[in-house]
Amino acid sequence: MTEHTVGLLVVISGPSGVGKTTIVHSIKDDFNAVFSVSATTRPQSKKEIDGKDYFFVTPEAFEAKIQLNEFLEHAEVFGCHRYGTLREPVTTVLSSGNIILLDIDVQGGMQIHKNMPESVRIFILPPSDDELLRRLEARGREDEDSIQRRFREAKSEIRFAQESGAYEYFITNDNLDLAIAETAAIIKNVRTNTASSS
């Protein structure tokens, strides 16, 4: 069996402003990986495509999927909308031998750790609290209260990730190119080792 026939689930987590989305997209391109599309109960925006950006479902349908054990992980975000990773699309990608990427929060990462311990779980850290706050402010998307709320949530999420035991790898994004290279090296190493032990 060659390494290219071994499927791999890769979780990449990190707080807002840490560069996680850029890293995920780069890894997707580098490995020709599949990006996992989450299901959500939040309303669909005009620019979003159902099934491409998210699977948009009603709260009732989401709850029914939980009862039927159709999620690998699910969580309520910001106390209002629910998000989750559907089991079936993930297992389809893995059985095809491809890499599937999940961009999820720590709650989800902990559930993946429990449900799929063979997965690779990576958490992206900012170089410092000051730099994280600077990056949040530089995005220019929110008012000062929202920025401060995200900053508090980010610090809490980092602490939770470090204490949870759900993440095997922590990468500090002080330099984006190096952070991408380090993430890619972890995936290559795990994939090679998985292939050789198959």
Residue 71's DSSP bridge partners are 86
Q: Residue 161: count other Cβ atoms within 10 Å of its Cβ.
A: 23
**Domain 3-197, architecture per CATH:** 3-Layer(aba) Sandwich (3.40)
Cβ atoms of residues 70 and 86 within 8 Å: yes
pLDDT of residue 17: 86
In this predicted structure, which of 6-10, 37-41, 124-128 has the lowest mean pLDDT? 6-10
Of 119, 114, 161, the residue nearest 20 (C-alpha): 161
Instruction: Please report, for the chain, the start and end positions of each structural domain, with discontinuous segments joined by +.
Output: 3-197
Q: Average pLDDT over the chain, rounded to whole?
A: 92
Tokens of 97: 């031998």
pLDDT of residue 5: 61
Residue 139 per-residue DSSP state: T
Please write the tens of the pLDDT for every residue from 69-103. Answer: 999 999 987 678 999 999 999 999 999 999 999 99
pLDDT of residue 2: 44
Q: Residue 78: count other Cβ atoms within 10 Å of its Cβ.
A: 8
3 has a pLDDT exceeding 50:
no
